[in-house]
Structure 1
Amino acid sequence: MAGICCGVVEGETPTPIASSSLRRRCLDLFPLKCIADMAVPPMEGNNRKRQKLDSQPQPRECHNTVQNRESILTTPNKNEEQNKETKGHNQIVVVSEIPTLDSTELENEVVVEEYPKYGVTSVCGRRREMEDAVSVHPSFYSKDSNTQNQDQKSFHFFGVYDGHGCSHVATMCKERLHGIVKEEIEKTDENLDWKSTLEHSFDRMDKEVQGWTHTKHTCICKCNLHTPHSDAVGSTAVTAVLTPEKLVVANCGDSRAVLCRNGVAIPLSSDHKPDRPDELVRVEAAGGRVIYWDGARVLGVLAMSRAIGDNYLKPYVISEPEVTVTERCDEDECLILASDGLWDVVSNDTACGVVRTCLEAQRKTVSPPGSPRSLMTAEGSDKACSDASILLTKLALARHSSDNVSVVVVDLRRDKRQHHHQTTTKA
């Protein structure tokens, strides 16, 4: 008995049993191991699929897809980087698109190049799908005022696109419209007619969308499952080109641009609603009808009278923008571009008041005007504008906005002071 307890006598007899059971267990687990090994390689495909989803937003992106700041800053995408943060239950995504420059560019250009400060916020809100898109391109076009290259004029591009039916038209506008505008500017650089330039740009963008819908496309999009319905997809477009002397706004649809000047909200665009008197006359003159079905709608379908895309509603729905050219002055404070997810529940005056409060609150803590370094780190220089855009978005959600909400806030005072300093220095 003592031998048995100490494991000296008969203690070796259980060993074969344990070995056989262990072998049996290994044999049972072997097929599972093979299956697990076979499941590893497709992860690369999943990564590619995730990149495609990032380029073409899907319903899950509204809740699950939020990129990490560090990973984005270390992985530049062409000339832009997106900086996203998640706050609260509604997944508020702060996007700061920042130009990436190599060392030679930093030495030769950034020393003299200065950007306006801005902040961007875009949220899915209470919608199942994210169909908004935002485009920010500081210094998307530059030209020299003299041969010595001592005075370089830079144009800055900002755009908000509110898609409907699907997100691919808004995404195409985000990726292409600023480039088209740049090409049109280069065509007529000497005698620049802003109205004609932007009208041609929007027309080219609309034709590209039409060509895309009639060709085979491979991007992951719900329209792939319903190809005949791709003609029923469109997007609004409100863009602003900021120059040292002018603020040029082009609008097509019901997104809006508002300028805050000396505490007064000045709308720089007019919403293209089907029941707007002049738009109603135009639609009916083209042979269409405005039917009141949950509000005024073209043919009882679309709640706006102008948009990019929507091929099935042409010629009643057109892509021609309304263009306003505003001379900049010392009283300009900020510019707000936003989709109707904001403007449906927040007035122009309220929005300007919120932004002015945020800019004043952080006026003493921000970095020097137009600092490229602060922009590149996405810290400090545009914090006040980002806070303002976030606050406007939260206000829209608190007021039960039922749409996607996208907001761009541009601080015109800093850029204005910079321009004033340059002109006084030359004098």
Structure 2
Amino acid sequence: MFTRSLCLSYGSISVMGRRRNMKDAVSLAKVDSYQFFAVYDGHGGSSVSKACRDRLHHLLEQELEQWKLGGKGAVDWEKVMAACFTKMDEEVGGESGSTPADDDTDTNWGNTVGSSAVVVMVGQNEVIVANSGNSRAVLCRDGVATPLSRDHNPDLPDERERVEAAGGRVINWNGYRVLGVLATSRSIGDHYLKPYVISEPEVTISERTECCDFLVIASDGLWDVVTNECACQVVRRCLDAQTKRHFSEGISGSSAAPANAAALLAQLALARGSKDNISVIVAELG
């Protein structure tokens, strides 16, 4: 069986870009035997994305512990992630009696504020992705960009059908939006748009092999202006250049390379006119 360390190295960056305030948040943590990465893209305020940053990985760890204590065998990641996202959604909606993580100016905390969430768990032999919203995780495998998540845009046929079946509408108002307001059909928070907007994540499980090169996990501030293929090409060149430089200098390892690659992607997004906050995580896998 193919086994190795969780990640050789990883780095991240978050920039405000052309926005007046920062609503993105990034989380890097160790959860059980996995390396946890997450990008949260807030809208309507920053309180929900900050709460997710501070709490979601702890909720996931609790769900995994309960699963093991229950003697249920192999982890059903769809059930575990769904339970985790539901609890996070309830917390920011006030159903658990929680309070805001900070005293920023958001009003109706969790009611008219929300956040997309893309969560990645990297194990020795698998990569699990749970996504709710329009942030994205992309795997570079043998030089080929492979999306591990799907953007929950309201005009997707199945998402539109679900919204309309719940009694809502998808309106083309400066882009397709739920009730003409929200440009994603899934998120954490946004309780004023329920039941049309749901927090339930879509989960994918991919085998981690020696062909897996690296991950790019980012908010739509990147993906709106940079394709999956372009992002992977930029990271590949950055990592290769760093490796060659260290080899010529007799240095082993390249811990700064993923952080440099993430920064370069953010710079590229800005140069291409991204109007949103930009958050990027780059994680080497092989």
TM-score (normalised: structure 1): 0.62
The alignment's C-alpha RMSD in Å is 2.0
Inter-partner Cα distance in structure 1 for 2:265 and 2:151: 19
1:361 to 228, 241, 246: 241
For 2:191 and 2:160, how far apart are their aligned partners in 1? 19
Return the offset for 1:140. 2.5
Q: Counterpart of 1:191 in structure 2: which amino acid? A: A
Unaligned runs of 5+ in 1: 1-112, 142-153, 370-380, 414-427
- Counterparts of 1:242-253 in structure 2, within 5 Å, are 242-253=122-133
- Paired residue for 2:11, among 99, 114, 119? 119
- 1:391 matched to 2:264? The reply is yes
When residues 295 and 339 of structure 1 are mapped into structure 2, their CA distance, relative to the original with a 3 A threshold, is: same
Supply the AA of the counterpart residue of 2:48: V
Match of 1:134 among 21, 26, 30: 26
1:362 partner SS: helix
Provide Cα deviations, 1:144-198, integer angstroms capped at 9, x if missing partner: xxxxxxxxxx311000000000001000000011111111111223421111111
Q: Which residue of 2 aligns with 1:327?
A: 207
More contact order relative to length (CA 8 Å, sep ≥ 6): 2
Are the aligned partners of 2:6 and 2:34 in contact in 1 as well (CA < 8 Å)?
no
Amino acid in the other structure paired with 1:319: S
Residue 404 of structure 1 corresponds to 277
Amino acid at match of 1:169: V
Alignment partner of 1:168 out of 40, 47, 50: 47
CA shift, 1:302, in A, is 0.3
2: CA distance, partners of 1:123 / 1:334: 22
Aligned equivalent of 1:282, options 134, 159, 162: 162
- Deviation by residue 1:351-398 (Cα, 9 ceiling, x = unmatched): 0000111111112418656xxxxxxxxxxx421101100110000000
Inter-CA distance 194–245: structure 2 relative to 1 (3 Å threshold): same
Contact kept in structure 2, 1:213 and 1:230, CA below 8 Å = no
Does the residue aligned with 1:355 lie in a helix, a strand or coil? Answer: helix
Kindly tell me: are residues 194 and 216 of structure 1, through their superposed partners in 2, closer, same or farther at Cα, counting changes over 3 Å?
closer
Asked if structure 1 preserves the Cα contact closer than 8 Å seen for 2:130 and 2:202, the reply is yes
Partner residue in 2 for 1:209:
92
Match for 1:325: what amino acid?
I
SS in 2 for 1:211: coil
Tell me the distance in 1 between the aligned counterparts of 2:98 and 2:35: 33
1:200 aligns with 2:83: yes
Letter in 2 for 1:352: C
Do structure 1's residue 233 and structure 2's residue 124 form an aligned pair? no
* Long gaps (5+) in structure 2: none
**Counterpart amino acid of residue 31 in structure 2:** F
CA distance in 2, matches of 1:218, 1:383: 31
Deviations 1:304-338, CA, capped at 9 Å, x for gaps: 00000000000000000000000011111000100
Query: Quick one: distance in 2 between partners of 1:236 and 1:294?
Result: 19
Q: Distance in 2 between matches of 1:120 and 1:312?
A: 32
1:410 to 1:255, Cα distance in 2 relative to 1, 3 A: same
Q: Partner residue of 2:181?
A: 301
Choose 1 or 2 for highest CA Rg.
Answer: 1
Q: How many residues get paired?
A: 275
Aligned partner of residue 232 in structure 1, secondary structure: coil
Alignment counterpart, residue 145 of structure 2, candidates 265, 282, 290: 265
The 3-state SS of whatever aligns with 1:188 is helix
Identity %: 53
Asked if the contact 1:237/1:307 (under 8 Å) is kept, the reply is yes
Give the structure 2 partner of residue 347 of structure 1.
Answer: 227
CA distance in 2 between counterparts of 1:305 and 1:181 reads 23
- Helix, strand or coil at the partner of 2:128: strand
Compute the displacement of 1:211 (Å). 1.1
* Partner Cα separation in structure 2 for residue 133 and residue 192 of structure 1: 27
